Structure formats: structure tokens, C-alpha cells
Structure 1
Amino acid sequence: MQKQTTTNTEGVDVLENKPFEDDVFGKGRYTSKIYRLQSKAPTWLAALAPLDALVLQEEAWNAYPKCKTVIKCPYFPKFSLTIETIHKADNGNSENVHSLSKEQLASRQVENIDIAVSATDYWSYIVGSNSIDMTKFQSERTGRGPLLDGWQESCKPVMTAYKLVTVDAPYWGFGSQLEQAFIAGERALFHGSHRNIFAWIDEWFGATIEVIRKLEKQCISPFE
């Protein structure tokens, strides 16, 4: 997906991609990336900030069942976006997976993202979303699919990625607008990337870790 949305002046620059191990996530993969999003920013943000300021720095700790991503923007040093993910083999009905406090639960907004439903909003267009009809798609290698109405209850196996998104943009006058823009962008990214994971299942299912690493290198080759 990164390679799909890359041009000569924009895209994703992977600075680090290495294994890690700690007491929180266990064994996983650490990545450090730079995102250049000049043409993908909404008009009001592009007018507010210079083109070379629309750059994001991302650190990610990818493991299973937990992941964490932290995104910052040098031009807005007070801005921060954190995504904490917990994967569970259920249909999305687990409550308070992230063990939030009563205060956090009171302010939490829950959104259900259904990969069977296509999206046509602005951010889905910017992020890039496949046009595959999930109600007709079926994997040749696994037999999984199609995703018909109520698939969350009937499909086996099924897994939910519970994502806790925390964003802070303490800027008077436009901070709330900036927060909402990033939340909408992340929502579109979650939706599009997970649709792709399912739609491309025949390409990655059963692949060795060596093959996965080779695919990763192919995706970042334009920046090497």
C-alpha cells in the first residue's frame, strides 16, 4: 500500500526496520518512517502550513497481539497521535479491551469499522481503497469469504483489531480541526489497509517470514 501511494516527491521513507524484544510487546518489528503528505492534506491545512511542513514522523512497535504507533509532526511540536492495538480472536464484542479507567471510558468514542463495506469519503479517496466487492470475493487458497451481511457472527475464523487512538493538538483556533482531520485519516487507513489484507489473502497466506521481508523491501525500494 505504501508503494501504491508513492510519487517522486511524496510517500513513505523507511528509516529503520529491525526486530525488537521487550517486556511489553514481546518479540516484534520496530520501524521508523517519514511520511510526506503535501498533496494529501486538506485545503485548509495546506493553506495554514508550508508544503515542507506537512511531514510526519512515525515510530511503530509491531508485534502480536499488541502493537503501538506514535506519530508526530515537527511543524506542530505539541501535536501527538498514538495508536495502541490489541488483536483478539473474537467478533468485536469485547468491552474495554485496553483496560481504560472510568474517566477514559466516559470520554471514549467507539467506532465499528466493517471491511465488507466500501468507503467513498474524502480520506478514503486520499488513502486509496480497493474496489473489490467483498460480498462476492472468495479466497481460492483458504475458501474464506464472501463477507455477506452479518459475516462477523458467521465467519470462522474471525479476528478484531481493537485500536485505541489518542490524539492531542493543543493549538488555539484550529487544534480541534487538526485532531478531527487526523482521526478521519486514520479511520480511512484502518479501513483501507484491512480491506487489502483480506482481499490479498491469496498472496500472503502461508508465506514464510523471508518472503514477507522481501515484499517489504520491494515496497520501500523507491527510497533506497
Structure 2
Amino acid sequence: MYMVTKIQEQQTAGGEGVEVLINRPFEDEEFGQGQYTSKIYHLQSKIPTWLSTFVPTKFMYIEEEAWNAYPKCKTVLKCPYLNRFKLTIETIHVADNGNSPNVHNLNKEALAARKVENLDIGSNLKDYWSYVVGGPEIDLTKFKSEKTGRGPLTPGWQASCNPVMTAYKLVTVDVPYWGFGYRLEQALLGAERSLFTESNKRCFHWIDEWFGLTYEDVRRMEVENDRSLNQKLGKTSMESDATENVSSSSEPVKKDASLPSSVSVRS
């Protein structure tokens, strides 16, 4: 939560960034208790130029619903202009080094279609989407936390560091559009891959800022940040901390979408 809050603040300026519509508690049978958020991402400058051939610039924004109930989370992304597009991210955090074969309990069909990628936050390799995502240069092979003594993350750190945790992310994307669907699908997966890596790198790099904070501390920061984000974008309306259940299963995730991918982010 601290990491998401800080990154949103850094990336919201000049009419682009994150607009928070709803941020309130939820409870359901699948996740138990957690925090539900509804947001709009105004990302016109980060959209590939070729996509403007198919989507007018003014419609290049993403609507997000998220259910955060650590150790499980679910995020659903949609674009109103492309009303058949849907990207779902299901995350399970596990205290292991990334060797669990099927934490999402996928059936045989889904396992056969799944592509597994291991993302190493200790790696300094970058691609095009790393620069699109942006952010400060961070080298975790040279970083050591003053408060916890954790780090540096040198090659092979996954096997030697303790404690260690893996965020297993099941990414399901459906872009059923002739002519550009596959290209957009690959762009989305590339962007999410870099976002997972860069955001978790920052989370570890900021450990001395958030280590020792209580849940209440972070929630207060989150509420203040939500208001600040909306003010930057000229928005004032936001629903926060209403006691109402928002079921995470209101829109079932399609397990047989075009390209399921289980991504292991070691952090």
C-alpha cells in the first residue's frame, strides 16, 4: 500500500496520472476483509503512438477496480472505448523463493496455456517498457537497508536471503479485436511485466521508509494521497471508507482468456 501510494503521487502531474473514485473496506467469501478501490488512469503520453490509429487520444484512459486483501489481491482493468478489452491480475503472496508450481490452483487446460516468467528485482536489465514506466535508477545489488540489514540483492539472492517472499501474479488478458488485438495484447503484457519489476524494486528500496509503520499509519497516508491526486487532476469527488461490501466475484475472471500468464515476481 505504501509503495502504490508513493508511486501514484510521483506519476500524477500535468493532467495525467491517477484519479481515485472509491477507496473503502470490503468483505466477501473469496478474500475475507480488505480494501476496495476504483480508479481511473489518465495515461495519454504513455500510450504507444500506433494505438492512436484505432483509439482517439481523448479516450485513452483505463478504469481499474482492485480488491486488496493481503496476501491475496485482484485487479481488473478495462477501457470504456474498447468495451471488449479486459485485463485481470490475481496475486498471491507466498513466503517462498518462487518455486511453488501452481499456487493459483489452475486446471489442466489453464496450466497448458500458461506461460511462466520469473521477474528478478535484483536484475538491472531494462527494456522499452521499463523506460515508459519510468522512475529513478535503482541498483539493488548495491543497496542495504539501515533499519533491517536486508540487501544487497546480489546474483542468487533468492536462494540465500531470509526472509524471502514471492508475489505470484496470474495475468489474464483478453483483447478480441481484429487487426490490432495481438499487438495490443503484447504491449499490455510488456507494460505489466515492467510495472511489476520496477514497482517491487522501489518497494524494497524504500524499506526504511515503511518498515515499522502500522496499517493505520499507511491508511492515513493513503487517504491524504488520494485527495492530493484528485486535486492535481482537478477532481474533488471521492468515496472513502464507507462500510459496504463490494464483492470481488461480481465479475468472474475468465480462466480461458487468450493468453494466461503466471508471473512470479520475487521481492
Smaller-chain TM-score bracket? over 0.9
Task: Give the stretch that moved more between structures: 123-132 or 176-185.
Answer: 123-132
Deviations 1:82-104 (A, max 9, x none): 00001100000000111111111
2:104 aligned with 1:98, yes or no?
yes
Partners of 1:191 and 1:147 lie apart in 2 by: 14
Q: Equivalences for 1:3-152 in 2 at 5 Å?
A: 3-152=9-158
Shift of 1:125: 1.0
Q: Indicate the residue corresponding to 1:161 in structure 2.
A: 167
Shift of 1:120: 2.5
Shift of 1:175: 0.5
Partners of 1:90 and 1:222 lie apart in 2 by: 35
Shift of 1:8: 2.7
Shift of 1:215: 2.5
Q: 1:216 aligns with which of 222, 228, 238?
A: 222
Partners of 1:170 and 1:222 lie apart in 2 by: 33
Shift of 1:204: 0.3
Contact between 1:88 and 1:161, CA under 8 Å: does it hold in 2? Answer: yes
Contact between 1:29 and 1:62, CA under 8 Å: does it hold in 2? Answer: yes
Shift of 1:172: 0.5
Deviations 1:13-70 (A, max 9, x none): 0111111111111111111000011110011113321111111000000012111000
2:180 aligned with 1:177, yes or no?
no
Paired residue type of 2:122: A
User: Gaps spanning 5+ residues in structure 1: where?
Assistant: none
Shift of 1:127: 1.2
Contact between 2:19 and 2:41, CA under 8 Å: does it hold in 1? Answer: yes
Partners of 1:9 and 1:147 lie apart in 2 by: 36
The list of structure 1 runs, each at least 4 consecutive aligned residues, that deviate by more than 4 angstroms after superposition, is none
Paired residue type of 2:185: E
If asked which structure has higher relative contact order (CA below 8 Å, sep 6+), I would say 2
Deviations 1:120-162 (A, max 9, x none): 3221111124312111100000000000110000000000000
Q: Give the TM-score of the pair, scaled to structure 1.
A: 0.96
Task: Give the stretch that moved more between structures: 175-184 or 3-12.
Answer: 3-12
Partners of 2:82 and 2:209 lie apart in 1 by: 39
Partners of 2:132 and 2:62 lie apart in 1 by: 16
Contact between 1:5 and 1:127, CA under 8 Å: does it hold in 2? Answer: no
Supply the RMSD in Å over aligned alpha carbons: 1.2
Contact between 1:12 and 1:36, CA under 8 Å: does it hold in 2? Answer: yes
Paired residue type of 1:19: P
Q: Give the TM-score of the pair, scaled to structure 2.
A: 0.81
Q: Aligned pair count? A: 224
Task: Give the stretch that moved more between structures: 81-90 or 111-120.
Answer: 111-120
Task: Give the stretch that moved more between structures: 195-204 or 2-11.
Answer: 2-11
